[in-house]
C-alpha cells in the first residue's frame, strides 16, 4: 500500500498544522470541516448557510482526491443543538437523493466557538487507487 498523503483544499486551512484530510491508498479521512466561506474566511450566521458551505467542502475535498460524494461511507456532524437537523437533512437529501445508497451518518452535540454552528468529518473509500493500479 502507498504512503500517507496530506490533502489540502483551496480556501480551507486549519489553524493547527494539519491538512484538511489524509489519504492512504483508497482510504480518505478528513479532519474537522466547517461551514466557513472560503473566499472571505467568515462564518455565516445561520446553520442553513453553514451547512450549505459544509457540503461544498465535502464536494471540494472529494474532487481533490479524485472521488465524488458517492465514495463517502460515513459523515459525523457536531452541532450546537443536537435536535437541530433540518438544515442537515435538506442538504443530505440533495447530496444523496437515493435512500438506498446513502453514507452512514451520526449527529452529536458539541460546544463550538466563533459563531460556528456545525462541524463535520467524513470517511471515504475510493473505488480506484491510481497509485496502486488496482481497483478496490
pLDDT digits (tens, 9 = 90+) for 14-52: 677 789 999 999 999 999 999 998 888 899 999 999 999
Q: Can you give the residue ranges of every domain in the chain?
A: 4-130
pLDDT > 90: percent of the chain: 73
Nearest-10 crossing angle of helices 47-64, 86-95: 30
* Residue whose grid cell is 464536494: 59
Provide the pLDDT confidence category of residue 136 given band limits of 50, 70 and 90: very low
Does domain 4-130 fall into CATH 3.40.50.800?
no
The answer to whether residue 131 scores a pLDDT higher than 70 is no
Q: For the full predicted model, state whether its pTM sits above 0.85.
A: yes
Alpha helix stretches (DSSP H) within the chain: 47-64, 86-95
Length of the chain in residues, anyone?
136
Amino acid at each position: 500500500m502507498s504512503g500517507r498523503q496530506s490533502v489540502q483544499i483551496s480556501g480551507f486551512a486549519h489553524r493547527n498544522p494539519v491538512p484538511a484530510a489524509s489519504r492512504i491508498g483508497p482510504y480518505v479521512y478528513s479532519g474537522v470541516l466547517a461551514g466557513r466561506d472560503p473566499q472571505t474566511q467568515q462564518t455565516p450566521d445561520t446553520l442553513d448557510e453553514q451547512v450549505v458551505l459544509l457540503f461544498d467542502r465535502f464536494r471540494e475535498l472529494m474532487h481533490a482526491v479524485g472521488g465524488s460524494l458517492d465514495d463517502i461511507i460515513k459523515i459525523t456532524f457536531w452541532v450546537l443543538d443536537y435536535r437541530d437537523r433540518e438544515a442537515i437533512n435538506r442538504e443530505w437529501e440533495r447530496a444523496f437523493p437515493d435512500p438506498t445508497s446513502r453514507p452512514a451518518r451520526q449527529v452529536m452535540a458539541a460546544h463550538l466557538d466563533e459563531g460556528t454552528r456545525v462541524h463535520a468529518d467524513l470517511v471515504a473509500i475510493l473505488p480506484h487507487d491510481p497509485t496502486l493500479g488496482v481497483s478496490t
